Amino acid sequence: MLANSLASAIRAASQRLAAAGVPDPVVDAELLAGHVLGTSRGEVQAAVIRGDEIAEHDASVLADAVARRETREPLQHITGTAPFRHLELAVGPGVFVPRPETETVVQYAIDALLNSAEPAPIGVDLGTGSGAIALAMATEVPHSRVFAAELSEDAFAWASRNVEGVDNLTLVQSDLRDAFPELDGAASVVISNPPYVPNAAIPRDPEVRLFDPALALYGGEDGLDIVRVLSSRALRLLHPGGLLVIEHGELQGESIRDILTQDGWRATATHRDLTLRDRATTALRP
């Protein structure tokens, strides 16, 4: 079987991706090569330094993967996986790809579970998507009991695959408006990364605009319809002193604090992510 230079294959892939406007073309080219070769990005970089070759068949498969990425199909859809904290999640069409900023948001929920005096504190993730947030809570706080709900049939299928075998996590397909009535007054934490893009807004990234499911993106005229539902549902789910955590857009913190305050929540606070943008708002159940 004929072989070519891996370095030249990655260089060509990077150039194609750069021309297509992909934000990190070299990174994506190396990750795609790692996916094709069944190895890590670091190993790909080492192979390039060594001057390794790539088999003709693998080069062809890589070219096909690059062609998909050129259309701005998310890298995670092509590789079939997305990293999240210590996890590697299965993702693909029909489910929202978990973002790095959510890794910091879930820390508020994890800390609350860890600091709970209850022997088996309950965490609830409403609109779990791929299951990323719920899995992080369940695996990083193994003495907790985590419950996750997802309405979308497509996303639920991905979440089911990801949470399989996690004994302290219960997943249901349900609207968050009436999920887990048996837990009313028992939860220590309710967390959600709801759809919060206003209906008239157009996401600037093609990966989001063209490939993320609309159900996971759009939240009504001001983007906060589901936040209003979350406020009332979480008031019932949480015990007094329980924590609500909501991820949102960088310009929505004040509006969300107003909604929560009007509903009777206390200690509302908005927190920044690692890029210093407002990213999450928390509140305590009175």
Task: Give the DSSP H/E element, type plus range, for residue 115.
Answer: helix 100-115
Count CB atoms within 10 A of the CB of residue 126. Answer: 29
55-75 core/surface letters (b: 16 or more CB in 10 A; e: else): eeebbebbeebbeebeebbbb
Numbers of helices and strands, H then E, in the chain: 11, 11
The pLDDT, as a whole number, for residue 1 is 44
Cα separation, 212 vs 92, in Å, equals 10
Please name each of the domains of the chain with its CATH number.
3-71 (1.10.8), 92-284 (3.40.50.150)
Instruction: Express each pLDDT in 47-71 by its tens digit.
Output: 999 999 999 999 999 999 999 999 9
CA atoms within 13 A on the CB side of 100: 3
The pLDDT, as a whole number, for residue 145 is 98
The pLDDT, as a whole number, for residue 4 is 86
Task: Give the DSSP H/E element, type plus range, for residue 163.
Answer: helix 153-163
Instruction: Express each pLDDT in 143-176 by its tens digit.
Output: 999 999 999 999 999 999 999 999 999 999 999 9
The pLDDT, as a whole number, for residue 259 is 97
Cα separation, 87 vs 159, in Å, equals 13
Cα separation, 21 vs 149, in Å, equals 36
Q: Are 284 and 265 in contact (CB under 8 A)?
A: yes
Q: Are 284 and 241 in contact (CB under 8 A)?
A: yes
Q: Say what the pTM is.
A: 0.91
Cα separation, 199 vs 145, in Å, equals 35
Cα separation values, 275 from 101, 141, 243, 272, 282, Å: 9, 27, 24, 7, 18
Mean pLDDT of 265-277: 94
The pLDDT, as a whole number, for residue 3 is 58
**Mean per-residue pLDDT over the chain, rounded:** 94
Vertex 38: Cα angle to 3 and 106 (nearest 5): 145
Cα separation, 180 vs 32, in Å, equals 40
Instruction: Express each pLDDT in 99-139 by its tens digit.
Output: 999 999 999 999 999 999 999 999 999 999 999 999 999 99
Instruction: Express each pLDDT in 182-213 by its tens digit.
Output: 999 999 999 999 999 888 888 888 888 888 88
